[in-house]
Amino acid sequence: MAQSRSGKPSPLATEKDSVYAFLTSSKNTDNPYVEHLIQQINRLSEIGRALSGEYDLNTLLEKICDEVRKFTYADACTLYIVKEKQLHIRIFQNHTMGIRMGGKTGEEINMPPVDLVESNVSAYVALKGISVNIPDVYDTDLFDFTGPKEFDQETGYHSTSMLVCPMRNHENDIIGVLQLVNALNPDTREIIPFSPDYVSLTESLASQAAVSITNARLINDMEHLFESFVEVMATAIDEKSPITGGHIRRVANLTMVMAEELHNTNKSPFKNTHFTPEKFHELRVASWMHDIGKVTTPVEIIEKSKKLETIFDRIQFVDLRMQFIMQSIQLESAQTQLKWIQKGESPDKIKKLEETTAKAVQELKEIREFINKCNEPSEFLEDAFIERLQEIAKKTYKDEYGKKQPFLTADELKNLSIRKGSINEQERQIMKNHAQITLDMLAKIPFTKKLKNIPNFAGAHHECINGLGYPLGLQGDEIPFEGKLMAVTDIAEALTAKDRPYKKAMPLEQVYKILRNMADNNELDHDLVEFFINENIYGVYQEKHEAPGSTQPSEASQKAKKDP
């Protein structure tokens, strides 16, 4: 016996097996009527298999109506879904009128929902959970058929026979209604009543459809739940560091814009590059998860805006130290002057001491200003600056306990001597480690078949074509295409970001130069970099995701593209 995904016999399977067993055990198997029923049951099985393999809800709903019309020889079909105590039309088909609305291929449905009142036949079926088979809607007063009659009057159609069945899922809940209109004689095409033989089989088909819809909804809901969880987690990681908040979101949006442009281009070398909806979804989730490893990166490293910054900027300690040294020199000078005055030393000697003291204080002020300047992150710190820092570090003073101390500690000297940016090599390794942690974390998630490549995509956005990237040192074609794509968008976002404390946002002209230099050095994929620049990907991204109505970003991007 065929089973549903839950392991229990499906309604369609139960109906089919019991009827099929009866018919095939009959002595009248050569009876044309019996043979026709057997064919119908086999057709039900084929429909059940087709429905069970479809998970896109719009496609599934459309397929249900197509199949049930073929199965019952119905000319028209309306599929209602129960929602908020109303019946909402999701599919409306009429073969004679050439109407296909809803689903994946049909026109948009603007019909109002149907209230759940028993005077309406579809609402009655939804409320009572029983099928209704009406030979002629114009020859009955059981229900209010104002709707079909108005449709007939407006279009010239003639609604006659009607079969309405509830769609009952595996939990015995009615989730929708199938309404079939005008059964047709397969030979003469004349309108006839729906055969009573079709009622139970159509109910089985409707129940099988309901189970398939429930499964599709469950899968879609799980995918949306997972994607929402991913976005929430990514947002939390960004909000952990408010200064760099939004990086993951911007990279995800920029990545998807570039993927969409690659998918739609007809230019070489990417004219054959296409993404299925599943691949788009996989890439979207991967781009939202590409920095998930940063959840372990200390905030003081992520937000390090000054070279001496940890939890706070230690330049305050250096300033206080310089102030202490200056005051110590001034106090020592004042005490010496007092002694000399008491001893009757000459005014010239006292004046010379004052000048020496003032010179020493001024020198300390210049040292303090220089250290403050070095504390600011820069594109490159020259050798002369580092040499002077080393000379300053060799200077000493006596603290309040009389103990000799250096002007700069070894750790302060190391951080102030950072040549580029604000983080030292040890901190850089901690930052880089987020890529390996991302891989480790994603490896523990039991991704579905459609999402199995997420760890490979997300974990490869810091790999380089030349093999000098991290965390795995992949090179060339070892790096997945999606990882190469994200490497370009991640760097582009980092260079254009306006919220980085250690640097200003670069103009696009400079960004494009850097991207091209990295491609020339075999760090980034050359073709992807050129596509990013020549197809104005950043401008398209800004128009889609930045302030609406702004044309300046796109114009700037066009200018940068022409004048790299």
CA atoms within 13 Å, Cβ hemisphere of 104: 13
Q: Domain limits of the chain? A: 57-218, 241-299+426-562, 315-421
pLDDT at 556: 42
Question: The tokens of 461 are what?
Answer: 């956005």
pLDDT at 374: 94
pLDDT at 547: 55
Q: Report which of 111, 208, 115 is spatially closest to residue 168, judged by C-alpha positions.
A: 208
Question: The tokens of 101 are what?
Answer: 């609305």
Exposure string for 441-451, b = 16+ CB within 10 A, e = fewer = bbeeeeeeebb
pLDDT at 562: 42
Asked if the domains at 57-218 and 241-299+426-562 fall in one CATH topology, the answer is no
pLDDT at 23: 44
What is the β-pairing status of strands 162-168 and 132-134? antiparallel
For the domain made up of 57-218, give the CATH fold: Beta-Lactamase (3.30.450)
Distance CA 66, CA 74 (A): 10
Element (H, E) at 248: helix 247-264
Domain 241-299+426-562: give its CATH architecture. Answer: Orthogonal Bundle (1.10)
Question: Exposed, middle or buried, 493 (CB in 10 Å: 0-12/13-18/19+)?
Answer: buried
Q: Report which of 240, 280, 252 is spatially closest to residue 264, judged by C-alpha positions.
A: 280
Contacts of residue 38, Cβ cutoff 8 Å, sequence gap at least 6: 20, 23, 24
pLDDT tens string, the chain, 564 residues long: the values are 334 434 444 444 454 455 445 445 544 455 655 665 666 667 666 666 666 666 677 787 888 888 889 888 999 999 999 988 899 999 999 999 999 998 877 788 888 999 999 999 999 999 999 999 999 999 999 999 999 999 999 999 999 999 999 988 888 889 899 999 999 998 899 999 998 877 887 887 788 778 878 877 777 777 788 878 888 887 777 777 766 668 888 999 999 999 999 999 999 999 999 999 999 999 999 999 998 888 888 888 887 889 898 888 899 999 999 999 999 999 999 999 999 988 888 889 989 999 999 999 999 999 999 999 999 988 788 999 999 999 999 999 999 898 999 999 999 999 999 998 888 899 989 888 989 999 999 989 888 888 899 999 999 999 999 999 999 999 999 999 999 999 999 999 999 988 776 677 899 999 999 999 999 999 999 999 999 999 999 999 999 998 554 444 444 444 444 443
List C-alpha distances in Å: 374 to 248, 313, 411, 412. 30, 13, 14, 11
